Chain A
C-alpha cells in the first residue's frame, strides 16, 4: 500500500504538523469527491483535518484514521485542489510550503506545495439546534433521485413531511417518494412539513460524494437551508464525512403537483 507522510514546517523549520497515512487510496476517494474547484481551504486541529471547498463543501478526516497525527497549533491555509488527484493526496500548511512524501514500491515522491492566503469562509451557520427535519438514508436510495431527476431539471424541490421525503424534479412532473418506514430509511425525524427548492447546479457537486458513501443524512433548518452529510466508510472500518450545505432558492415558485 502506498504510504503517505507529511510535514508542515513553520518559519523556525519546526514541523508544526505531522501525519502519516498507511492507505492513501481511501483518502484520495474522499478528495476526489470534493474536487470540482481549483482551491480548497484546509483546517488542521487536534481532532482532524477539515478541507473546505467553495465554503459549502467540507470533508472531515478524523485524526483517528491517521497512523500518526500531531498538530501543534490550529492552522488554516489554502491549496490548489487541482493537484490533489494527480498526486493522490495533498495537504497544506500555513505560510510555508508543505512537504508531502508518498512512498510506493521503489519510488519516493516528494511534493512541495505552496500555500496561499485563505479566502474568508462563509459560515452557513447551520447548527444542530435549528435543525427542523433530519433523515438518514442509505446512499443507494439517493442514486435514483440524483440521476433521474437532474436530466431536465434546473431546480429540485424537496418536501419533508412527517411520513415521507419527496423529491420533485422537472417543475413537478417527476417525483420520488421515500416513505418513513421504507427499508432504505434508517432514521426519520420530521417535526414540521417543509417544502424548499434548490438549484440543481448547487446540488450536483455533492453527487461525487454519493458514490463512495454508504449513508446520507439530510437535514433542513428553520430557514430551509439544506445539509447533506455523506458517510464514507474506509476499508478498515474507519469513517469519514463529507458535508454539503445549500441554501434554498427563494425565487422559484412551488411546483404544482
Chain B
C-alpha cells in the first residue's frame, strides 16, 4: 500500500485547508478513502453518529500536482484510513503560506499520514514542519459499509437559503426546543418550525426555487403547495450548519417525508453530501 501526493499551488492549498476545517467541524472521526482519481472523507451512519452520515468528494487532480497511490491490491486499488479529522486540520493550519505540502502514508512505529509543510521563512531559508497523524488502516471486509450512500428519491427538492441566516435561526431555536421540523414544497418555500407548550415559532423562507426534477411524472403528480416534512434533532442540523463557514456554490436540500433530509452542497469543486435521519 503506498500513497504520496504534493500540493504546490497556494490557492489549492488554501482550498484543501478549508475542506479539512469543514470536515473537522462535521465529524470528529472520519474515513479517508484514497483512490486513483479521488479523495473522499466519509462518515458512515453508525449508531454512534446518531445515524448521521457524510460523503465528501474531491477530484485529486484539482488539488495535487503530484499524486501516486497503490491500493491494497490490484483488483482493489483503494486505501481506506480512519483518522481524527482535527489532526489533519491542525496540520494544514501551519501550511498557510507554504511553498509546498507533501502528504504520504508512512509507518513510523505505527501507521501514519505524514504531512510535511515546506515553509519559506523570513531569511529565505527553507523550513520543513512535519506532522505525523496516526491512522488506522481499515480492512477490506469493512469497505462495504463505507460506500457512497444511495440517495432515495426525495419527495421535495429545494435550493437552500443563505446558510448563515439559516444557522442563526436554528441557533435561536435551540434555546427553546431540542427538535424541529424542516418542511419544504415544490413552490420554493421552506419552513423551520418548533413547537413547545408555550410557543410555536415558524421561520418561513420563500422564493428559494426548486431544481428541475429528475423524474417528470413524480413532480407533476405532486401538489406544489404540499409540504414534505421531517422531524430532526436541532443539534444535528446545527452541527451541519456550523460546518459551513463559507456559503457554498450550490446548496440543495432533498426531503424524504418522515425519513430523512439530504443536504447536497458544492463548495467550488468539492462536493459534500450530508444525511440526517428523522427522529425516531
Contact = CB atoms under 8 A, between A and B. Distances in A.
A130 B59 CA distance: 80
Interface residues of A, number: 20
A242 to B, nearest CB: 23
A107 interface: yes
B202 A109 contact: yes
Given A87-B201, A110-B203, A113-B198, 11 more contacts: A83-B199, A85-B175, A106-B162, A107-B161, A107-B205, A108-B206, A109-B169, A110-B202, A110-B204, A111-B200, A114-B197
B1 interface: no
Interface in B148-174: 161-162, 165, 169, 172-173
Interface of B: 161-162, 165, 169, 172-173, 175-176, 197-206
Contacts of B203: 107-110
A104 B127 CA distance: 50
B169 A80 contact: no
A80 B201 CA distance: 14
Contacts of B175: 85-86
A80 B206 CA distance: 29
Interface of A: 79-80, 82-83, 85-88, 90, 104-114
Contact of A109 (B161, B197, B198, B204): B204
A129 to B, nearest CB: 40
Contacts of A107: 161, 165, 169, 203-205
Contact of B161 (A82, A85, A106, A112): A106
B176 A83 contact: yes
A106 B163 CA distance: 12
Contacts of A88: 172
Contacts of A114: 197-199
A108 B162 CA distance: 14
B220 to A, nearest CB: 29
Instruction: Pick from B175, B197, B201, B203 the residue with the most CB of A within 10 Å.
Output: B201
A108 B200 CA distance: 14
A113 B197 CA distance: 9
- List 7 A-B pairs, minimum CB-CB distance, nearest first: A86-B175, A112-B200, A109-B203, A80-B198, A108-B204, A111-B201, A113-B199
